[in-house]
């Protein structure tokens, strides 16, 4: 089965990992700080690496001080973790509809929903296409709320020439194998504000403070470390940070290959009846994570099944978050975000990854023409 997404691992990645495996550190060591510095150069903000993208969201919400009584506004067209981690902080999630052209949060809808209880607005850079950050910033500035970006899809993407990571107060990344780069499991939090960054660094390691100048009991002894705000163990091991650094050095080639495949899909599928192809705003330069088409006329399920039967591992991203039974049981009703629900009803992700060859991609295109042409 041709997958919809998969990692690209070459000899340089393998060499980077084996070099660290036989060294002194397996977990927190010099590769962690080096990977964080490399990420800062790509994202334009101070970075904290963590054990996965879900941990990154949890850490970002904690760094923003989100807790019980706070409302976090987010689009439902995302992976359930965007909401689950806000709820894990004790917050209430409110869903905001999407702009159907990009499947990212609609800034006008967000402006209409933000109120005094809102503590954060989350933008999910769906498929790698950045949301409209300038418009979202107007909304969050007017209400003094934190702008968070779930950029699990979008490391390496640009918005008006600025890198994802430098656009929101806090930005999270995932390095799961299907994403734009991988550390097997891994993630990161980029923070523009120094106090957010310090809080994220502490949250990753139990909230522990070691710096003598920051201690409340500075006279306890050389062994002393203390916790002022609770954290968890969300560390990313040195071995995986070495893989991350190697992968990051290949990011430009990943971006170029994915852009080329995106373009080839556009040419190969032009004129195919009954489908909508992904749109791109003129002011963004995405590192495309998904190739998300819309299959009209109620034929998405049929196309999904016939593609899978042909050995092509298409995928659907995503079930609107509040359609999951756990949200339905909590009182969220269908119909809340009509654009997101309509998008879900037609969405299909075609195979897209750096190592996808032209011949395999041509087979995807030909199979779609056979079904719908």
Footprint of ligand PLP (CB under 6 A):
52-54, 78-79, 81-82, 124, 150, 152-153, 174, 176, 187
Residue nearest to ligand PLP (CB): 53
| Smallest separation (angstroms) from ligand PLP to the CB of 161 | 24
DSSP string, 163-208: ETTSSSSEEEEE--TTSSS--SS-EEEEESSHHHHHHHHHHHBTTE
Nearest to 200 by CA among 50, 37, 45: 50
Closest approach of ligand PLP to the CB of residue 55, in Å: 7
Which whole-number Å values give the CA distances from 331 to 51, 90, 106, 323, 355, in the listed order? Answer: 32, 17, 23, 11, 43
Q: Please, what is the minimum distance in Å from the beta carbon of residue 40 to ligand PLP?
A: 20
Would you state the torsion angle of the CA atoms of residues 139, 142, 143, 149, taken in this order, to the nearest 10 degrees? 40
- Helices 30-43 and 238-248: crossing angle, nearest 10°? 30
Please give the helix or strand (H or E) that residue 99 lies within, else none: strand 98-99
**Nearest-approach distance from CB 299 to ligand PLP, in angstroms:** 26
Q: Which residues of 162-173 are buried (b: 16+ CB within 10 A; e: fewer)?
A: ebbbbbbbbbbb
CB of 359 to ligand PLP, least distance (A): 28
CB-nearer residue toward ligand PLP: 152 or 191: 152
Q: Nearer Cβ to ligand PLP, position 166 or 182? A: 182
**CB of 24 vs ligand PLP, minimal distance in Å:** 28
80 versus 251: smaller Cβ distance to ligand PLP: 80
Nearer to ligand PLP, 200 or 269 (CB): 200
Q: Which is nearer to ligand PLP, 74 or 372 (CB)?
A: 74
Nearer to ligand PLP, 2 or 81 (CB): 81
């Amino acid at each position: 089965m041709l997958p919809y997404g998969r990692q690209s691992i070459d000899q340089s990645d393998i060499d980077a990992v084996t070099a660290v495996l036989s060294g002194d550190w397996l977990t927190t060591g010099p590769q962690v700080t080096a990977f964080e510095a490399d990420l800062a150069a790509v994202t334009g903000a101070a970075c904290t690496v963590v054990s996965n993208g879900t941990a990154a969201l949890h850490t970002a919400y904690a760094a923003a001080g989100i807790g019980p009584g706070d409302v976090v506004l987010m689009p439902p067209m995302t992976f359930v973790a965007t909401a689950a981690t806000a709820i894990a902080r004790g917050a209430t999630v409110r869903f905001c509809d999407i702009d159907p052209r990009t499947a990212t949060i609609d800034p006008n809808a967000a402006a209409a929903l933000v109120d005094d209880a809102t503590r954060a607005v989350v933008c999910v850079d769906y498929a790698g296409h950045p949301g409209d950050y300038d418009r979202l910033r107007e909304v969050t500035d007017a209400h003094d709320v934190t702008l968070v970006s779930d950029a699990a899809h979008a490391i390496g993407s640009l918005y008006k020439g600025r890198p994802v990571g430098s656009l929101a107060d806090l930005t999270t990344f995932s390095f799961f194998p299907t994403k734009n780069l991988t550390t097997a499991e891994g993630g990161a939090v980029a923070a523009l504000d120094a106090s957010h960054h310090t809080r994220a660094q502490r949250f990753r390691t139990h909230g522990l403070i070691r710096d003598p100048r920051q201690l409340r009991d500075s006279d306890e002894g050389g062994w002393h470390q203390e916790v002022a705000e609770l954290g968890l163990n969300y560390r990313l091991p040195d071995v995986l940070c070495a893989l991350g650094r190697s992968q990051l050095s290949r990011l430009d080639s990943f971006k170029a290959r994915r852009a080329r495949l995106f373009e080839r899909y556009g040419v190969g599928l032009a004129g195919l009846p009954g489908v909508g192809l992904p749109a791109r705003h003129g002011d963004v330069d995405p590192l495309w994570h998904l190739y998300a088409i819309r299959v009209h006329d109620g034929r998405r399920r049929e196309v999904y099944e016939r593609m899978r039967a042909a050995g092509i591992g298409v995928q659907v991203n995503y079930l609107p978050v509040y359609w999951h039974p756990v949200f339905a049981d909590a009182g969220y009703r269908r119909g809340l975000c009509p654009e997101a629900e309509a998008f879900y009803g037609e969405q299909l992700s075609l195979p897209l990854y750096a190592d996808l060859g032209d011949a395999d991609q041509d087979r995807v295109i030909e199979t779609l023409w056979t079904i719908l042409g």
